[in-house]
Amino acid sequence: MKKITIDNLISEMTLEEKASLCSAADAWHTKKIERLNLPSVMVSDGPHGLRKEDDSPAHFGLLESIEAICFPTASALACSFDRDLIENVGNALGKECQSEDISVLLGPGINMKRSPLCGRNFEYFSEDPYLAGEMGAAFVNGVQKNDIGTSLKHFAANNQEWRRMSISAEIDERTLNETYLTAFEKVVKQAKPWTIMCSYNQINGEYSCENKELLTDTLRDKWGYEGLVMTDWGAMNDRVKALKAGLDLEMPSSHGETDKLIVKAVNDGTLDIETLDTAVRRILTLVDNSLDSKDKHSGFKYDMEWHHEIAQETAENCAVLLKNNGALPLSKNQNIAFIGEFADNPRIQGGGSSHINCHKIDTALNCVKELADVTYAKGYNTDNEQTDENLLNEALNTAKNADVAVIFAGLPDAFENEGFDRTHIDMPKCQNELIEEICKVQKNVVVVLHNGSAITMPWLGKVNAVLEMYLAGEASGAAAVNLLFGIANPSGKLAESFPMQLEDTPAYLNFPGNRDKVNYNEGIFIGYRYYDKKKMNVLFPFGYGLSYTKFRYDNMKINGNDISESDFSFKDNENVNVSVDITNIGDVDGAEIVQLYIRNHIDEDNRPVKELKDFAKVKLAAGETKTVTFTLNFRSWAYYNETIHDWYAPSGEYKILIGASSRDIKLQKAVSITSTTKIPFVVNKSTTCEDVERFAKNKAPLDEMLMKCVKAQHKEESPKTEEEELKDLKCGFGGVPLHSTLSFTPDELKYEDIQNAINEINKGE
Ligand code: BGC
């Protein structure tokens, strides 16, 4: 196909043609312009597989998607904490897009897990912006190195399904930037996604699609984004306002209706042609890049069996071993019972726009046959919460006669999905009952979980082991069997906290909001930031996971030194290297996820107790030691400051914590950081005398003002000097705002004295 020359093309296009390009032709294609030989390109969901609708004549109108590979969903992927693994999944998906003639894969979704109730949490990575950003960037890099675009979604603050198309997320500036935009910023800067998909919802009363502050001021001007912004499907509100705000492409088709609005606005002078041209240029750039890609990769076909193996290897590296009292790994010689429908029919993905028509599904029950003879009982139904007494009795008999009962449990589709939120975080009653009852007849119980988000485990104290598979994709069964038998060693760690109960969760009092608004009153304190600050117990903390081997942490060094803590002192913008030795001290090979958190000791700015700032997954043979090195930078110390509308790292002492989880810190060192940014201290009538004393550069005007009062009242016979009396006065005036000093001083102090002092102090800033 011939490469287009964008500027020439724009100059040849009529106004109507330009407007027409700004909305899709149908659900998945951009519009073509035959007169100019401009072809259309196709986009498809995303994110953990390719959901390309089959438009072949045989399937016309059925909206079926073609067969593809279903990889683990994002909530599982993030537990790998493995950038290379995620990039590899992205790479495989990029190849599938090439093979199926898709230009943009609609993903990844990197919204924060504000509450475990969000129905779509299975499609999102984490409660931590750093981790979500790193995972998202690796994914985008993986896809895009194949000359296939991604669509980073849902920008922004789409953290619930309830009224997701209209609700306004009410978020303060710091929380929005620090918690809900950071992951997007990271992916934009590190991986340059070809496109970004705006969210359906409003933020502080403005729809994302027409939010100039979000789409232009932040995304383009601050972060330097150059790609295209499209709507989520049906998210368009005011077409012309959206175009002005920086929204280029409307998805899906609006049957030409909104194109007419664009034409009208240009004609009546309410929309500049330059604004339209900018959007058109971005759309043409996408088409142009896609044409290049098609030229380069034409005829490529991917190998489904190979990609299935990638899905299996990925699932094995994501699963999290939550408990193990020695029950795992299983031995082939044991008399093993597999119980639960998910052994035979695993839940491997969620429902909605990400649902993949899997090319094949490995079940644990089938895969285990190659290794061992197991007995099986279905145990429960997934379409009903009530216990089926016949299934329960059959399961109890099967479990009783075995050496170990492995129960495959989790959440059925009806419990979590795109389009609705959960109302509780429990597993179905019949499954909890089954586990409790089996524990009465069998001492050795292992639970294998299939769920997209955190759940409660009332039976946790009674079972010997728990393996969290999450929604592990089409090779889930094969991966589970390899992990259970120790052919693969579990190495995932939780990318979200598991609370003890729903009532403990940060957004409990403010989720999902009322009809119009949801208040993010918990601010930056979501996930472990909340549980740590409130010193709460959790079922399992962020970053937690076990292995069949053990690891030792030692030799923590900063810039190669392990000298005493107080000797480390850096400017906030210096790079700081932190290294640590990790040794596999067990008998089997394994991998450890080493986490680096920063604790800030200047609590004035209401900082979290600790925050993840880097991590590494290290593969170690039994007995092997490796040195892991992290590089910290300005953002490792910084928080978003609302006075300067930017990131700021206050001077003071910080601790660098190296941990095996957020609640298992192995080594730490303190460093002193000096800020290179001065936040101007602006004084007004409400500023207290104490704050002027503490923060103002030039404190003299306040002293001069108060000295006037001292002099007016000073008595010859006073035992104190005027200076001493001034000191006393200032002491007594600690929390008094400047305007109130008037009420507590003699007549000599005038209002203009206060105003003059304020002006002089502010001049000094
Ligand atoms: C979802 C998006 C998805 C789009 C296209 C929307 O409803 O929110 O994530 O990419 O549909 O299927």
For ligand 1, atom 7, the nearest C-alpha belongs to 233
- Tokens 């910290």 identify what position? 632
> Mutate which of 26, 52, 53, 106 to test ligand 1's pocket (most atoms within 8 Å of Cβ)?
106
Distance of CA 425 to the CA centre of its chain: 20
Confidence (pLDDT) at 654: 95
> Mutate which of 158, 232, 253 to test ligand 1's pocket (most atoms within 8 Å of Cβ)?
232
CA of 55 to the centre of ligand 1 (A): 18
Are 691 and 573 in contact by the 8 Å Cβ rule? The answer is no
Average predicted confidence (pLDDT) for the chain = 95
Give the H/E segment covering residue 674.
Answer: strand 664-674
Give the active site residue among 45, 128, 147, 232.
Answer: 232
Tell me the Cα Rg of the chain: 30
Question: Which runs of E-coded beta strand occur in 399-490?
Answer: 404-410, 445-450, 465-468
Are 207 and 169 in contact by the 8 Å Cβ rule? The answer is no
CA dist 120 to 111, 116, 322, 628, 734, Å? 10, 9, 23, 34, 51
Torsion of CA 597, 599, 605, 607, to 10 degrees: 50
Whole-angstrom distance, CA of residue 293 vs CA of residue 94: 11
Confidence (pLDDT) at 713: 86
Between 37-46, 60-69, 178-187, 454-463, the lowest mean confidence (pLDDT) is in: 60-69
> pLDDT tens digits, residue range 288-310?
999 999 999 999 999 999 999 99
**Position 760, amino acid:** E
**Position 82, amino acid:** D
Highest mean pLDDT among 499-508, 689-698, 734-743: 499-508
Widest CA span of the chain, in angstroms?
Answer: 107
> Mutate which of 120, 197, 353 to test ligand 1's pocket (most atoms within 8 Å of Cβ)?
353
CA of 717 to the centre of ligand 1 (A): 82
Confidence (pLDDT) at 444: 98
Would the pLDDT of 212 be above 90?
yes
Are 119 and 161 in contact by the 8 Å Cβ rule? The answer is yes
Are 628 and 579 in contact by the 8 Å Cβ rule? The answer is yes
> pLDDT tens digits, residue range 699-712?
999 999 999 889 88
Are 155 and 198 in contact by the 8 Å Cβ rule? The answer is yes
Confidence (pLDDT) at 565: 57
Would the pLDDT of 736 be above 50?
yes
Confidence (pLDDT) at 20: 98
Contacts of 641 (CB under 8 A, 6+ apart): 174, 605, 647, 648, 679
Whole-angstrom distance, CA of residue 613 vs CA of residue 5: 43
Would the pLDDT of 690 be above 80?
yes
Q: Is 55 a known active-site residue? A: no
Are 545 and 197 in contact by the 8 Å Cβ rule? The answer is no
Whole-angstrom distance, CA of residue 467 vs CA of residue 480: 8
Confidence (pLDDT) at 742: 87
Beta bridge partners, 65, equal 53
Q: 124, 49, 123: which is closest to 90 by C-alpha?
A: 49
* Cα angle value 514/214/291 (rounded, 5°): 120
Tokens of 692: 């002027």
> pLDDT tens digits, residue range 565-589?
557 999 999 999 999 999 999 999 9
Confidence (pLDDT) at 63: 65
CA of 324 to the centre of ligand 1 (A): 39
CA of 201 to the centre of ligand 1 (A): 13
Would the pLDDT of 695 be above 70?
yes
Confidence (pLDDT) at 603: 66
Beta bridge partners, 553, equal 582
Are 38 and 26 in contact by the 8 Å Cβ rule? The answer is no
> pLDDT tens digits, residue range 619-667?
999 999 999 999 999 999 999 999 999 999 999 999 999 999 999 999 9
Question: Which runs of E-coded beta strand occur in 542-651?
Answer: 551-558, 569-571, 576-584, 590-600, 611-620, 625-632, 639-641, 646-648
Whole-angstrom distance, CA of residue 41 vs CA of residue 102: 7
pLDDT band of 196, cuts 50, 70, 90 = very high
Are 519 and 553 in contact by the 8 Å Cβ rule? The answer is no
- What is the arithmetic mean of pLDDT over 421-429? 98
Tokens of 325: 């009292």
Confidence (pLDDT) at 1: 36
> pLDDT tens digits, residue range 89-140?
999 999 999 999 999 999 999 999 999 999 999 999 999 999 999 999 999 9
Share of the chain above pLDDT 90, in %: 91
Whole-angstrom distance, CA of residue 47 vs CA of residue 91: 12
Confidence (pLDDT) at 685: 94
- Tokens 């900018």 identify what position? 278
Between 70-79, 96-105, 729-738, the lowest mean confidence (pLDDT) is in: 729-738
Give the number of other Cβ atoms within 10 Å of residue 699's Cβ. Answer: 16
Q: Cis (ω within 30 of 0) for the bond into 108?
A: yes
CA of 339 to the centre of ligand 1 (A): 35
Residue 680 DSSP SS3: coil
For ligand 1, atom 11, the nearest C-alpha belongs to 233
For ligand 1, atom 12, the nearest C-alpha belongs to 353
Would the pLDDT of 400 be above 90?
yes
pLDDT band of 2, cuts 50, 70, 90 = very low
Confidence (pLDDT) at 567: 73
Give the H/E segment covering residue 755.
Answer: helix 751-763
For ligand 1, atom 3, the nearest C-alpha belongs to 353
Which atom of ligand 1 is found nearest the CA of 107? 10
Would the pLDDT of 360 be above 80?
yes
Question: What is the b/e burial string over 2-22, where b = at least 16 CB atoms within 10 angstroms of the residue's CB?
Answer: eebebeebbeebeeebbbbbb
Give the number of other Cβ atoms within 10 Å of residue 277's Cβ. Answer: 15
Which atom of ligand 1 is found nearest the CA of 200? 8
Share of the chain above pLDDT 70, in %: 98
Crossing angle for the helix pair 722-732 and 700-713, to the nearest 10 degrees:
110
CA of 353 to the centre of ligand 1 (A): 5
**Position 543, amino acid:** G
Which atom of ligand 1 is found nearest the CA of 252? 5
pLDDT band of 62, cuts 50, 70, 90 = low
Would the pLDDT of 157 be above 80?
yes
Contacts of 512 (CB under 8 A, 6+ apart): 117, 160, 162, 163, 167, 421, 518
Whole-angstrom distance, CA of residue 760 vs CA of residue 737: 17
Distance of CA 169 to the CA centre of its chain: 17
Whole-angstrom distance, CA of residue 303 vs CA of residue 15: 45
Between 39-48, 331-340, 497-506, 730-739, the lowest mean confidence (pLDDT) is in: 730-739
Q: For ligand 1, which residues put their CB under 6 angstroms from it?
A: 45-46, 106, 153, 232-233, 353
- What is the arithmetic mean of pLDDT over 593-614? 92
Beta bridge partners, 338, equal 376, 406
> pLDDT tens digits, residue range 241-267?
999 999 999 999 999 999 999 999 999
pLDDT band of 331, cuts 50, 70, 90 = very high
